[in-house]
Structure 1
Amino acid sequence: MTRVINNNLGLIPLAGVCSYDDACKVGYDIDHNVNLLRRYLYSETQLNQIFAAHISNTPEWEVKGAFGLHIWLDAEHSAALRKRVTEMREPPLHLDKVPDAQIEAFFGEVIRAETTLELLVGIYRVAKPELVRSMKKHLSETNPLVDQPTCRVLKLILVEEEEMIPWGEAAVQALIRTDEDQHAAIKWQKHLESFLFAAGGISGDLAKPEDWQPSEPRSNGQPFAIQVEPRRDARFSDTYNSTANFDQYYFDENRPADERTYALLYKRLREMDVPEWMGPIIYTTNGKPWEYYQDMSRQLWDEARHSMMGEVGLYQDGVEFYKYPVEFLTSMALNSKATSLEAHLVLWYIEQGLMPKDTGKHFEWAVAKESDNELAKTFQDYDWADEVLHAQIGRKWLVPEFKNMEELKQQAESVMNRNLEEKARLSKQSDQKEWWPEFLAEIRAGRERTRGGVTAS
């Protein structure tokens, strides 16, 4: 109903946020709004932790990569919601308090998925679609003018959440290969939906269906114990093979420019082991400000993205990224023998070694620049920028843990030496067959075939 026709001089009123009639909607009061936002941020926080808990032990490479992106996006979503809550007369305290025991029970089941298929179903068929439903309902019911800052946050989150779900559904479909898989997916989905309905959904307003029945929980009420051993799917072989010395290859000025650059690309490919040891760090480190998990999740995604750069670099010249060994000795050693703080120290120690101009990331970029591989040069350019950020993140969160920088360096060196010893022990599980010359010959042949380039000699 139009109450009055204002003379707005032909201009759109209310900054274009909404119509006058929409602005007359009473919407949510502050207390109800904050209660809903707390439920959303708790859900985003739990999703971030679920990705952290499972990324290492999930074998499928493409799923690891997607988890690397989604863990960061959910960390960002949680941070945005936290900020909005603190703007609404709520002190920035107790933001991680469980808002509803039934929601806690629901996510306690999602994290206890026993297969990748179950994990994908829980995240992308149940949890995220319900989060999207709740946020869309919020947008439809709150006053769009008085609550515009909330609406903006929810709209931005929804863009990314709605992009994740189709990827997840496609992944579910890819992993349903038998009737047994289909049955398992449906059974797990119904199990989780039972807990979701018990909570009234993420927003607390989801009505139970008439045939709703409670489901027996997998959770025993104790914190979820993660499986830290990194795993790779059946396409990968000889994952303990450490014969390729990429640093030696690209530092050697007597080697051809293309070989030095391919060594960098393969080094990028191998960086998937960093998310495999960062996930457990994030999950097992408790009591930090949310900014810590936000920063670490960003770094985890960057490292997964670097691995994808290597994957694309091999694809460009016609070699499957899983054909030759992609070892995971560092993540295997750290996850099994180091604490979360020690694992972070190793990460920082490596990053500090990448900062000097003559030996670090600038040098790697210069090596790629000397070749005619323009894509590799671009990859190294962005890898360099990312690693500067990562070194800052390490200093930000590790320096306060020690009396001074000297103690930090000593502890890092000690853990690094132990890690090298453990890696040497683990490498005995491989016959250590040399493969680099074969890879180099194949990728050079692929380059000639796909790009018609001239191989450096």
Structure 2
Amino acid sequence: MYVYTGISEAQKIGKYGVDESARLMKRLAYIYRRLMMVGAAHMPARMNWHFKAGLARHLFEDSHAAGLFMKRASELRSPSVQQLKDPDPWLALFFDELLMARSDYELWTGIYGVVRPELRRLLRQYAQDTQPLVDYPTLRAIKQVLSDLDEQTAWGEAIRPALLEDAAFFSAHRETYSIITDDESTAAVFCDELRKLLAQVGGFEGRALKQAENVPDRKRSQQKYNMPLRAVRDPRMGGDTLGRTGVANPPTEPELARIIANVRTRQEELGAAELCAATMVLQNNMPWSFYEDLARHCWDETRHTLFGQAVLDLGGYDWYSMPQFKGDYDPHMMKPVANSYIWLSIGIEGSAMRKDGMPKEARMLKAAAEKTDNEVVKLFAQCVDFDWADEVTHHQFGRKWAEELMDDYRTSERIANREMELNFARMARDTCSFWEDKPDSFNKQMFLNDWKDRLRPELLKELDERTLLP
């Protein structure tokens, strides 16, 4: 069909007028903002490595959906100033309760068992009921969001058995591990409470009769959600570290060994992603574009982690059993979160802008990839090429938000440089401590040579005098 540009049912009477459509767009924008923030709040707190990565990707996609619906609401004669307000205190309560999930599987139940299926139902119903010609811009936005929702729910179903396996393992080893777990039985209570609350809200459409005697009570959200001061890792991994430890089975050829050490550093960027997530949650009252930028930054750092993981997995290098680096999160959660984000975006990311930074590494890897058939080297060279593009964007984020976070860019730069000095000293101490009692090898000498010059006594003394992590 070619009439009406191929839009079918162009003459039907739709269910929605502008006012009702705008009301739903504002609710959807709010739902996606809250869903994004729930993902950010839980990313450092959740244990399963793959679940963390999925939360990071989906919170970025949720930020995109929120932006689409905010924009559409403003086009439907809805003042933009109202879009950041809670459209419904009951709906706010629903997400307050979802935020209080206590385990990986409880959070999975809330997000992938309740919220995303309900969103998919609502969006499909809206697309079916609206007038497809007059409301085409809304349908265009919904089409993009539904595409993400289909992938998100499919991924959720795929990871569910892994989360249940984790729960079964830790339940069987409670005497060894102090991990809070939930299975289908114990998580059912939380799921039922969310479904009941959603029914009282009237679904995400919000069309329930709201009589005073039916106002729901807070259950878990009587207490405030607290971001973890230490990022959580699966205790079956190789423990935690603030230093650099490489892989368990490094190559013996020096040039490849150095490349693999750099790959491992990429795989260790999850803490940077978790720091971005924490900044989203803790840095309140910023413009919406700040949270959009941070959601992108969070997912990018997670992608970089997955770059490293993909390359190491391709080469058969064991990263999982080694101590897991958390130096980009744990030490920085004791400071104002604005300081920590400035350190990351202006200090660490900014250092990659210098002539001896990532462009040099990218050029070296490109040259190495051109003279070898090793797919590990070729893939990593491509990863770093795109990593470099991301770092430019992240540094721009830091410069963009420095004035609001720290009054001016020069103050931000001074703070970032000082925090970098301290952070490198801390990393050097833990790196050298890890390697000093290991058998002699090229890798040991490489790591020690790379880090020993950063063992500055005055900085280490300052670190020791600071408040210890709890």
TM-score for the superposition, normalised by structure 2? 0.81
- Partners in 1 of 2:32 and 2:408 — Cα distance? 35
Match for residue 390 of structure 2 among 383, 386, 405: 386
Shift, 1:411, TM fit: 2.1
- Match of 2:296? 298
Instruction: Find out whether 1:154 has 2:158 as its counterpart.
Output: no
- Partners in 2 of 1:102 and 1:424 — Cα distance? 50
- Partners in 2 of 1:77 and 1:432 — Cα distance? 50
More relative contact order, 1 or 2 (CA 8 Å, 6+ apart) = 1
Which residues in structure 2 correspond to 1:242-391 (within 5 Å)?
242-244=243-245, 256-335=254-333, 337-347=334-344, 348-357=346-355, 359-371=356-368, 372=372, 373-391=377-395
Does the aligned pair in 2 maintain the 1:194–1:214 contact within 8 Å?
Answer: no
* Shift in alpha-carbon separation, 1:176–1:432, aligned structure 2, 3 A: farther
- Match of 1:13? 3
* Shift in alpha-carbon separation, 1:245–1:265, aligned structure 2, 3 A: closer
The one-letter code of the counterpart of 1:410 is R
Shift, 1:407, TM fit: 2.1
- Match of 2:457? none
Shift, 1:128, TM fit: 0.9
The one-letter code of the counterpart of 2:366 is K
Does the aligned pair in 2 maintain the 1:243–1:432 contact within 8 Å?
Answer: no
Instruction: Find out whether 1:64 has 2:66 as its counterpart.
Output: no
Shift, 1:53, TM fit: 0.5
Shift, 1:435, TM fit: 8.5
Secondary structure of the 2:231 match is coil
- Match of 2:13? 25
Shift, 1:64, TM fit: 1.1
* Shift in alpha-carbon separation, 1:334–1:425, aligned structure 2, 3 A: farther
Shift, 1:323, TM fit: 2.3
- Cα RMSD after superposing both structures: 2.9
- Partners in 2 of 1:433 and 1:303 — Cα distance? 32
Instruction: Find out whether 1:397 has 2:394 as its counterpart.
Output: no
Does the aligned pair in 2 maintain the 1:238–1:430 contact within 8 Å?
Answer: no
Secondary structure of the 1:176 match is helix
* Shift in alpha-carbon separation, 1:172–1:439, aligned structure 2, 3 A: farther
Match for residue 191 of structure 2 among 189, 192, 202: 189
- Match of 1:164? 152
Shift, 1:262, TM fit: 1.1
Secondary structure of the 1:99 match is coil
Does the aligned pair in 2 maintain the 1:264–1:364 contact within 8 Å?
Answer: no
Instruction: Find out whether 1:50 has 2:38 as its counterpart.
Output: yes
Cα deviation, 1:162-213, whole Å, max 9, x if unaligned, reads 21012112323322244971201222211111111111111124799xxx99
- Partners in 2 of 1:430 and 1:215 — Cα distance? 51
* Count of aligned pairs: 415
- Match of 2:71? 83
- Partners in 2 of 1:261 and 1:146 — Cα distance? 56
Instruction: Find out whether 1:412 has 2:420 as its counterpart.
Output: no
Does the aligned pair in 2 maintain the 1:79–1:291 contact within 8 Å?
Answer: no
The one-letter code of the counterpart of 1:302 is D
Which ranges in structure 1 are unaligned for 5 or more consecutive residues? 1-10, 250-254, 441-457
- Partners in 1 of 2:50 and 2:188 — Cα distance? 23
* Shift in alpha-carbon separation, 1:400–1:207, aligned structure 2, 3 A: closer
Shift, 1:438, TM fit: 9.2
- Partners in 2 of 1:279 and 1:135 — Cα distance? 27
Greater mean alpha carbon deviation, residues 117-126 or residues 314-323 = 314-323
Does the aligned pair in 1 maintain the 2:86–2:92 contact within 8 Å?
Answer: yes
* Shift in alpha-carbon separation, 1:428–1:368, aligned structure 2, 3 A: closer
* Shift in alpha-carbon separation, 1:58–1:260, aligned structure 2, 3 A: same
- Partners in 1 of 2:104 and 2:137 — Cα distance? 37
Shift, 1:62, TM fit: 0.6
Match for residue 121 of structure 1 among 84, 100, 109: 109
- Match of 2:119? 131
Does the aligned pair in 1 maintain the 2:343–2:415 contact within 8 Å?
Answer: no
Cα deviation, 1:149-172, whole Å, max 9, x if unaligned, reads 001101110110121012112323
Quick one: percent identity of the two aligned structures?
Answer: 28
The one-letter code of the counterpart of 2:183 is D
Shift, 1:338, TM fit: 1.2
The one-letter code of the counterpart of 1:256 is P
- Match of 1:455? none
Shift, 1:367, TM fit: 2.5
- Match of 2:201? 199
Secondary structure of the 2:83 match is coil
- Partners in 2 of 1:145 and 1:303 — Cα distance? 40
- Match of 1:8? none
Does the aligned pair in 2 maintain the 1:84–1:149 contact within 8 Å?
Answer: yes
The one-letter code of the counterpart of 2:313 is Y
- Partners in 1 of 2:291 and 2:232 — Cα distance? 23
Shift, 1:113, TM fit: 0.3
Does the aligned pair in 1 maintain the 2:257–2:443 contact within 8 Å?
Answer: no
- Match of 1:236? 237
Shift, 1:433, TM fit: 5.3
- Partners in 2 of 1:50 and 1:428 — Cα distance? 38
Shift, 1:238, TM fit: 3.4
- Partners in 2 of 1:436 and 1:18 — Cα distance? 72
Which ranges in structure 2 are unaligned for 5 or more consecutive residues? 172-181, 445-470
- Partners in 2 of 1:204 and 1:66 — Cα distance? 28
